[in-house]
Structure 1
Amino acid sequence: MKKIVVLGSGESGVGTAMLAKKKEYSVFVSDKGTIADKYKKVLLHNDIVFEEGKHTEGKIFDADVVMKSPGIPDKVALIQELLKRNIPIVSEIEFASKYTDAMLVGITGSNGKTTTTMLTNHILTAEGLNVGMAGNIGDSFALQVANETYDKYVLELSSFQLDGIVDFAPHIAVITNISPDHLDRYDYKYENYINSKFRITKNQTAEDFLIYDADDEAIENWLKNNKVKAQLLPFSLEKSFDKGAYIEDDNIIINTNSNLFTMSIAALALQGKHNTKNAMASAMIAKLLGVRNNTLRESLEDFDSVEHRLEPVLKINGVQYINDSKATNVNAAYYALESVRTPIVWIVGGTDKGNDYTSLLPLVREKVKAIICLGLDNSKIIETFGNVVDFMIETAGAEEAVKVAYKVSEKGDTVLLAPACASFDLFENYEDRGRQFKDAVRQL
């Protein structure tokens, strides 16, 4: 019996443990922290051996294969020792993909990947296709492979998940965009992070497709200097193509296989330049998979937006409160600031991942009247924007930040939570941060 050790007991870890058990592996789950009750129940119910609060090296080094949760960096001593001993380390995505014949769509990017994944799933489901949505979203891919029989999967993939792939090969890969993010995990080298994103196409063949943003400098430069086997399908707001997606007279034009689809940008449910690009990527996937034009058009018109992504919460005394807790990097915060048309009270800050805020300066000068810091260390934010806005204050929680925002905002303003940072200093994750913000707004 092959032995698998699962490091980390979150969604991907427990999903992998369940699938491995089904495939008759001997399974051991090890978590240095505490295992959440809901996951502990699943492990106990399925008679899966686990430990928490420690890593027993003797048991871990006995593994034939190790599945490492995406949150664990490669630099950790335990991982380095596993590599030294030549024990294979894979991601959940890699492990699960070996046990399904389903057609895979993989979507990555610094921003927009959740929206593009959910929109694609919405379109394919509306067409009546038997499709599962997994990866960085919902139930883990491994758990769905263990329990479901989908023909197709739409997978939202982070760079951390892609770092652990060996043979994983999506039929359709999407790179929505690339901007500096998670540089603390990539030795503060942007090129390492870019290479990580392009791992999504490394096992693709000439039968497969890579959909990408042709306006993105990092993507374009990488493609100039590296060979890709997959067929390239670019999308752009500025250029036009024989094959790909582009804009003409305020219409989106999609041409994947001489089957033309056009639609007015004004009719899209999701507005804003970045959302037009998300719609282009999703529409190209849909056309490659034979979705009918009327289904595609209806789906793009009626899609509801994603929680914690430019989510309107309430309007109070003429002030609009917007939750964009998912803006965990500078580029996402840029989109958020760009999309708001009124004076902004900006709630920003958290765990800095090596951020450079200078690209936000023009927008902050033009639009932001007050900055409310929401992090334990706000020195870089204060240093960058201290001379640019009239009012700046540090707060220690969502409730305090919202109360201050209420005091300094006036009718016609927007209070925008767009942290540009991870949430782990004060919150469990970006969802927790977003929900606490929304709760605080509702209590005003």
Structure 2
Amino acid sequence: MSINFKNSVFGLVAVLPLVVSCGPSLSEGGTGSASSGSTGSTFSRQTDYSINLNIDFAGITDASAISPSEVLISWGDAMFIDDPVSASSMRYVIFRGLTPQAPLRDIGQIAITGQGELTFTDDFSDLENPPPLDNTTWYYSVVAIADESISNNVQVAIARTPSAYAPGTMSFYDDVLPLFASIKNPSDATQNCLSCHSTGSAAGGMDLSTLEGILAGVGTPSNPNSFIIPFLGNDSYTEFRARFTGGSLFDQNSARANHIDYIVEPNGGTPEAGDGIEDLELPIRNWAFEGALPTPDATPPVFEFADVYNAGLYYGNFINFDTVRLYVPHASDPESIPVNGSLAGQIDYVVYAGETSNAIDWNHPVAVKSLTINEAGQSYVSIDFNWVDESGQLISNDLVVVVRPMDAAGRSVDIDVLNYDDTDPSQVELFRQRMRNMSSQEREILITQ
């Protein structure tokens, strides 16, 4: 799945006269891949070539991420103005960097193509100790060379590599069920949660020994009444504690009376942990956050644009002078649909926007939408956001929007993706972790008023 970004022509930036060895980053040949080999030579626009204004070349036309660690770069033919046939003998030098200026410098050179080649796949194999490749904005530039002549191009295109998907981590059978057997009664170590809450002997109608029993709770599979609320981890654990300690000590049938040993015994419960029912907080919380699934969700959500029922659904408009409304299809992620079948809360729709493609700030979404029960029943997803700056002023009459569906597999990562502190390295890392649970499939929406 690719991410396409239009070009941006930045202002003229002086090419540094400094000649820096590119070592193994210089590849040359007909494969169009950075892994095709290296010459080990240096590259200098000033000492090796002379700018020739008779080379007709529009520069790079597109840089598209095709995976978390690959970018496809393309451009049109270059030729000498008075010799169209020369296009077949032109070669191209590719530059890359992490800033708009970097690919305009010799040090940013990564490869030289074979004659007449008009595409190049950057697989970053030239980097000995690469930074994170995924979820990163890369800048590219291309110049044409022939003999000792070089074109004078300053066009820069960007590609935003998608996040490498990180599957869920919580398994009911490995991470949740064993804990109910490990929480011992401090007054009788032969007793645990499952002693009273198993199939066939479920006290209070609550079966903790099976996935179906927990999700049905004291209700039924078709009409559940459980402490587990899929996708709402904190609420699920709060409900669990409320039910575990509910009622009065004077009512022998109440949960509080029956669980009194677990509640009042200091350091009771699991001998090793000594925390009793507190051992269940993180597993219940994180399992519910991920959707309370039997096994972890291993695939990202996707927009099924080819589905006839989604035809025409991926657009937006201004609904007043500063508010934008988007209409997108429901993203598909069958693995993470909970037992109750509801799409409510299953997927977060993350919205990025900029005045142009190149102006999108991928580290700061403008909105995140999670569906309510009523919204989940609609045939499309509607997302509103304000297109204003910090002072409340309209940013622009035109904007480019990208919506990326993000599933619940990483929802246990404790970060507010809209309001995190990007100067705090720990929060930046949490943000990166959460962003690894979204689709790499993207399309732009162009909106104007």
TM-score computed with the length of structure 1 as normaliser: 0.22
Bigger share in helix:
1
